[in-house]
Amino acid sequence: MSQSSPDKEDQAPASKKGVSLPISRVRLIMKSSPDVSNINQEALFLTTKATEMFVQHLALSSFNNGRGKESKSLSYSDLADAAEEMETFQFLADILPKKILARDYLKSLEQIREEEAEEADL
């Protein structure tokens, strides 16, 4: 295996490297951490591949758990449901919250204010 510059490796076709996420973007995200100074090429490749596998697992689990079977598509709500309902993905609940309508949010906000006002009166 010959050594090539990192820029040339990033430009290689994904099928040749076995990954489909852009390695340069993964490197950029990894370098954004103040704890990371140097990134080994093997670690970069493995992190990229692991990320791809995780995204695939999340998508398949969300599709199989959600209504994707009926509509043959994956929606945001399928991902949010998986994050809320499946223990494996509960750490994503803050990142993938369930969507609610603005009027529903305003109603719940008003109810919270009323409850706080009642507690303050006691």
What is the C-alpha to C-alpha distance for residues 39 and 96, in angstroms, rounded to an integer?
A: 29
- What does the pLDDT look like over 16-41, one tens digit per residue? 456 689 999 999 999 999 998 889 99
Quote the pTM value: 0.64
- What does the pLDDT look like over 62-75, one tens digit per residue? 998 876 567 788 88
Integer CA distances (angstroms), 2 to 7, 9, 64, 78, 110, in order: 14, 11, 42, 44, 65
Highest mean pLDDT out of 1-15, 41-55, 104-118: 41-55
Residue carrying the six token digits 């994904």: 14
Number of residues that this document lists for the chain: 122
At residue 65, the pLDDT reads: 84
